[in-house]
Structure 1
Amino acid sequence: MGLAELIIAMKKRRQQIQADSKPANPISGTSIASVAKRTKPSCEQDDYSQDTKIMRYSGPDLPEDIWCHIHALLPLPDAARAGCVSHEFLRSWRCRPNLTFSQETLGVKLTLSEKIHGTDTQAWKFTEIVDQIMKKHAGIGVKTFELEYCGSRIYTRHLKSWLQIAVNPGLEELILLLPVVRNAKCYNFPCSLLFNGSGKSISYLNLKGCAFHPMAGLGCLRKLHLSQVDITGDELECLLSNSFVLEELDLRKCNKITCLKIPVVLNQFTDLTVSECKTLEVIENKAPSLCTVCIDGALARLPFGDSLQVKNLEISWSFERNTVHYACTGLPWVMPNLETLGVSSAGEVFNTPVVPIKFVHLKLLEICFCIAEVGAFSPTYDYLSLAFLLDACPVLETFNLSVCQTSMKHDPVSGDGSLLRKLPGGRHASIKNVKIDGFCSAESMIELTCHILDNATSLENLKLDPIYDADYEHVDRLAVHEIDDCSPPTGKRMIREAHKAVLAIEKYIVGKVPSTVKLNIRKPCSQCHSLK
């Protein structure tokens, strides 16, 4: 019997029971939050007295481990309610190995009065529910423990007791996301729980908003994510140097690290993400297998160590300018074996230069020009200069360009097209897919598109979208409009510019598209982007 059929059978049996005798604690439609408020919730009672008139459906005769597996597949609120219906699910609920606590999963909602008194009420309500559940799981082998703390106040005594229950020799994933409150003392994570042997099986550790001072390594740790965590570079090095199977490290806003050292002993280490670590001055990578790096623009120019093996690089968006210029002049020397490259820039003072060394392995190139504030992207920047970067990528297959701005100040295209510039250069024989989001009527962007059409002899798909809209990939904006607004507000100026861009595409580009190329023009929505 499948899970769906099982639940249907249980519901039918429950309805039959309710017809004969009204249950003392009906569960249907009751949130886990309201269940937890009762002094003796039905889903947490060990047994019923023999003379009770309420019969409980025990379900099909299945082995207990099968029941536990079925129960583990249910979302947390449904799992709690199921424990009120079946004795098997009641036992399975108490030994549920995967616990995920958040405002959403627990259904913590405040009354108007509670909202007026502030988020401390929310934190206490959340704490009461979690505490009641965790006490029932004491002594049970938890495999996954995820806690996204609700409210602004942390009740440290309760939090420590939950961690003492959750951290056991069988725990595989530990996710603790705490609120970051300005001027509040940072919660000190009890590292002794991890390094006394109880955390020996953890493969994924994700911490946010706490102080973390590791004293050793974790033998099974494969993924480590730290966000707004108080940890020094030496402490992190100690952890990394003794976590020999680590594969992935993600650091965000960890502002006590000045030097990030990735030791040579991490033979399986492949993925590194570093973002908004303001005090970081150097990255010393010695891991022999590192192949994927995501770093923000402020850190991209730091000394990096061994990077010849890096194949995938993303310079994520920041307030940094001239990152495309740096990618052309610096990266070919530092990371010559790149296969995918993503670069974001808040502005380019200089046009893209001729690249001194070719990216001989690069197959995917993504460039995002996104202004940090309201305005136009570098009106003096020549989009056609990007052709120099394309020339330096002989095996490039996919090129994506995105331009996010709230006004367009480039010189618009005009005339019959006879004065459009053409650059001499080699054939882009490998390019098959080109996409430009935020396509505008700038003359240099028209020239870049025509240059690609003239030189990309293997081109198969060309997608042009006059509205930068990273959240939607639908071809038909009107179909999305029927559900919700088809794109974020762009302002009247950019709506007018979008319509100008479509006219420019039809006049200067459509006629140049070969019959072998599929042209996709995502036009503005007739309702959301109307000129009226």
Structure 2
Amino acid sequence: MGMLSLNHLMLKQKRWSRRRTQALTLKQKRCSRRRTHARNGSTITLVPQKDLLCQEGGERSTYLGPNLPEDIWCHIHSLMPLQDAARSASISHTFLRSWRCHPYLNFTKETLCSKQNASRKGYTASRFIMTVDQILKNHSGIGVKTLKLYFPCYCEVDACHINRWLQIAITPGIEEVTLMLPTNYMKKYSFPCSLLFGGRGNSIQYIRLNECAFRPPVGFDCLRSLTNLRLFRVCITCDELGSLISNCFALEKLELGFCHELIFLKIPLCLERLSFLLVSSCHKLQVIESKAPNLLTFNFFCGPVRLSLGESSCVKNLDIIPNMPNSLRYAITKLPSVVPNLETLNVTSADERVNTPMAAHKFLNLKYLKIHLIPFSKAFSPAYDYLSLVSFLDASPTLETFILIVKQNDMKHDSVFGNALHVRRIPAHKHSRLRKVQISGFCSAKSMVELTCHILEKATSLESLTVDTIFDQCNQGTVVEHGDCSRRCVQKESRCGPISRDMILEAHKALRAVNIYIIERVPPAVQLNVRAPCSHCHKLLLTLLICCA
């Protein structure tokens, strides 16, 4: 509820009070406060006549407010955005009292600086510091539930300022602490763990720290209610992190990103409630060992590490981007034994130099598989055989959904149009559970056409096949059920996204390959969805073809 909603409420109450004013005596009008005693003996404070004020033309005008308990007005005040709450406290004694225990302190560049001044480097820093100081000056620190400090990118703030603000806000009862410091502050600022001592940290449920050091001492036992911990670009060692989380028995989500001091990550058995773990870009990390018995979702975006999740691992959802060549080979050879109960698997590879081998073990419970082939270079390796992806299908007897996403600006594989197509046949089991298949970035590569033909032949329960001839980043995570592509890749500027001339020409070849080699192989019970470039891309394609002619 912002200032407009408050003014609307005050105007409505003013009309009501105008009718009541005629029945009041002059003596009653001059009274500034009334108190009534409830039957249970408690005191109810009514809104004073001269307390709820609105500014009009720089002057204060009074109106007779409604007989609402003060705690109701405090609740209304707590629902306002930070700026509106601070402004109303400057013109109302009632709101000034409630401001001193305002529960939500959200300091960001957007809420504290105007758009015109937000881009001015010097102004942003000085204005941000001055505004936060002024707002917290009249706050008692009592009743704070949420503290969010998002510093502008160029905001140079001394540690003494940050520590003073944290000292005011982190009090018993606080539930959420977010500290987003400017870039390259990891070596400039260390979060004061002492602020969490004395019971002040035991009510905190959510902590997010960016760009700082966090050094919890041995035996750190101050975050007993913590359920969500997010550390990004934070300096913290393996022992310090272990000391921190070993006593967080309520922890449910743990996210670690760009924590470059971590070498060994060990999740203890005592974290029985931990269900989500994310580890991203911790480049020195070598080992991840988890004994958390109820870990269900694990997102891993790092270099090659040794994973140990226990033989009875309960992980059902795995999103993995190994920062190394041949990620698909790693996934199919290592993961079946590491995560035997896996149901959903997302694998991203930027460089596949060898074909995907057959698996020694199977994903016995895998139902959803998504593979991203997104190379760093312009073209994906022409040596990679897309048909070798059958290894994943063969290793997943319960697979129901398969999504393949390929992004490359220049197709270097052998084209299906070079010679007459002789589909290679791979001795494989029937994919009897596979119902939905989507290939985004379908091209005219011979091995990709062979993969599609193999799926149509072996997937006996197939219901729908979606072939998208353009890498569609808007639909990477969902299976498309229709073929509408009239304006699907048009951006806000009324033009398509990063689709090159070569991609548009290749999409034209891919459509020819679908018409010649795919459509005739589709069983009657299978719904085929062919997604071409959008209408804008089609116009560009016609222009290119005319120019080439």
User: TM-score, length-normalised on structure 1?
Assistant: 0.84
Is the 2:441–2:468 Cα contact (8 Å) retained in structure 1?
Answer: yes
Q: How does 1:135-146 map to 2 (within 5 A)?
A: 135-146=137-148
Give yes or no for the alignment of 1:327 onto 2:306.
no
Instruction: Give CA-to-partner distance per residue, 1:177-203, whole Å, 9 cap, x none.
Output: 111228x84201111001231111111
Aligned partner (choices 299, 303, 313) of residue 298 of structure 1: 303
Report the residue type matching 1:290 in the other structure. L
Alpha-carbon distance in 2 for matches of 1:389, 1:146: 44
Q: Say which SS state the counterpart of residue 347 (structure 1) adopts.
A: coil
Quickly say closer, same or farther: Cα 1:167–1:4, change in 2 above 3 A.
closer
Q: How does 1:301-312 map to 2 (within 5 A)?
A: 301-306=305-310, 308-312=312-316
Q: Say which SS state the counterpart of residue 388 (structure 2) adopts.
A: helix
Alpha-carbon distance in 1 for matches of 2:302, 2:513: 33
Report the residue type matching 2:265 in the other structure. L
Aligned partner (choices 249, 266, 274) of residue 261 of structure 1: 266
Alpha-carbon distance in 1 for matches of 2:213, 2:4: 47
Alpha-carbon distance in 2 for matches of 1:502, 1:486: 22
Quickly say closer, same or farther: Cα 1:472–1:353, change in 2 above 3 A.
closer
Instruction: Give CA-to-partner distance per residue, 1:270-317, whole Å, 9 cap, x none.
Output: 221111112222223222222221112414x42425263143354544
Alpha-carbon distance in 1 for matches of 2:192, 2:228: 19
Which segment drifts farther, 424-433 or 437-446?
Answer: 424-433
- Give the corresponding residue for 1:346: 350
Alpha-carbon distance in 1 for matches of 2:357, 2:189: 49
Identity of aligned residues (%): 46
Q: Say which SS state the counterpart of residue 274 (structure 1) adopts.
A: strand
- Give the corresponding residue for 2:466: 463
Is the 1:58–1:86 Cα contact (8 Å) retained in structure 2?
Answer: no
Quickly say closer, same or farther: Cα 1:499–1:46, change in 2 above 3 A.
farther
- Give the corresponding residue for 2:278: 273
Greater Rg by CA: 2
Alpha-carbon distance in 1 for matches of 2:10, 2:496: 42
Quickly say closer, same or farther: Cα 1:263–1:15, change in 2 above 3 A.
same
Alpha-carbon distance in 2 for matches of 1:411, 1:346: 20
Instruction: Give CA-to-partner distance per residue, 1:136-182, whole Å, 9 cap, x none.
Output: 32233111111111124123222111101111111111111111228
Instruction: Give CA-to-partner distance per residue, 1:37-70, whole Å, 9 cap, x none.
Output: xxxxxxxx99879xx9632567765444444444
- Give the corresponding residue for 1:241: 246
Aligned partner (choices 99, 102, 112) of residue 96 of structure 1: 102
Quickly say closer, same or farther: Cα 1:67–1:501, change in 2 above 3 A.
farther
- Give the corresponding residue for 1:360: 364
Is the 1:431–1:457 Cα contact (8 Å) retained in structure 2?
Answer: yes
Quickly say closer, same or farther: Cα 1:53–1:234, change in 2 above 3 A.
closer
Give yes or no for the alignment of 1:389 onto 2:392.
yes
Aligned partner (choices 126, 139, 143) of residue 128 of structure 2: 126
Q: Say which SS state the counterpart of residue 401 (structure 1) adopts.
A: strand
Residue segments in structure 1 that go unaligned for 5+ positions in a row: 17-44
Alpha-carbon distance in 2 for matches of 1:73, 1:266: 35
Q: Say which SS state the counterpart of residue 490 (structure 1) adopts.
A: coil
Residue segments in structure 2 that go unaligned for 5+ positions in a row: 16-49, 544-549
- Give the corresponding residue for 2:194: 192
Q: How does 1:3-14 map to 2 (within 5 A)?
A: 6-7=5-6, 9-10=8-9
- Give the corresponding residue for 2:498: 489
Which segment drifts farther, 164-173 or 280-289?
Answer: 280-289
Alpha-carbon distance in 2 for matches of 1:239, 1:298: 25
Number of aligned residue pairs: 494
- Give the corresponding residue for 1:517: 526
Instruction: Give CA-to-partner distance per residue, 1:320-375, whole Å, 9 cap, x none.
Output: 211111111111122221111111111112111111111110011111111123x1
User: TM-score, length-normalised on structure 2?
Assistant: 0.81
Report the residue type matching 1:363 in the other structure. K
- Give the corresponding residue for 2:485: 476
Quickly say closer, same or farther: Cα 1:92–1:410, change in 2 above 3 A.
farther
- Give the corresponding residue for 1:41: none
Alpha-carbon distance in 2 for matches of 1:441, 1:236: 50
Alpha-carbon distance in 2 for matches of 1:120, 1:489: 35
Q: Say which SS state the counterpart of residue 60 (structure 2) adopts.
A: coil
Report the residue type matching 1:402 in the other structure. I
Alpha-carbon distance in 2 for matches of 1:59, 1:446: 75
Quickly say closer, same or farther: Cα 1:57–1:488, change in 2 above 3 A.
farther
Report the residue type matching 2:111 in the other structure. T
